Amino acid sequence: MLPLDVTDQASVDAAAAAAADVTLLVNNAGVATFTNLVDGPLDDVRLEMETHYFGTLRMVRAFAPVLAAGGGGAVVNVLSALSWVTYLHATSYSAAKAAEWSLTNGVRLELAAQGTVVSGVHLGAADTDMMRRWDVPKVAPEFVAAAVADGIERGDLEILVDDAAVQAKAALAADVRMVYPQLG
């Protein structure tokens, strides 16, 4: 097991050096501060962006040469249905996940020439420590892992794990007032 802190470049570099034979990189580091953008602590907003966006970017940059040397491989970025929609008390998380979704699209284009497949995984709530305080429907981590494995095997560039992800993706084409009826 390798120690790894995606918010620390030296830690990421050490992991990439120690794992020089990686063919699959899964970016699943996460933090949820349940912070709003306008009135929440800016340090919490920064932490979410640092973890989800910059942490994923650090990992991709460090492991892209490793993946290229191994023939291309794959990158899987675990995103969220909240990459596409948001809720009060999760607006900072959603903004960070939306940025990570855009990052996923960007590095997918950049790494295609080296044969690296980049997949984004979207899901609602998973039954993890991060969501333990919320009484909402949750998918089992084993279900998520199986869906991701199946998606990678099929070559899916977007892996929609559950109905929450499917509905959130469909909402992208809807009028914003339909998605957020509280806006009137």
pLDDT in tens, 109-135: 999 999 999 999 999 876 566 667 767
The domain covering 9-13+20-183 belongs, at the CATH homologous superfamily level, to NAD(P)-binding Rossmann-like Domain (3.40.50.720)
Q: Residue 127: what pLDDT?
A: 57
What pLDDT is recorded for position 128? 63
Q: Count the neighbouring beta carbons within 10 Å of the beta carbon of residue 119.
A: 22
**Amino acid identity for residue 123 in this structure:** L
DSSP state of 38: T
Neighbours of 20 (CB within 10 A): 11
User: Tokens 């912070």 sit at which residue?
Assistant: 35
pLDDT tens per residue, range 71-94: 999 999 999 999 999 999 999 999
Rounded Cα distance, 177 and 63, in Å: 41
Residues 108, 6, 16, 2, CA torsion sign? negative
CB count, 10 Å around CB of 29? 16
The answer to whether residues 35 and 41 touch, using CB atoms and an 8 Å cutoff, is yes
d(CA 128, CA 121): 16
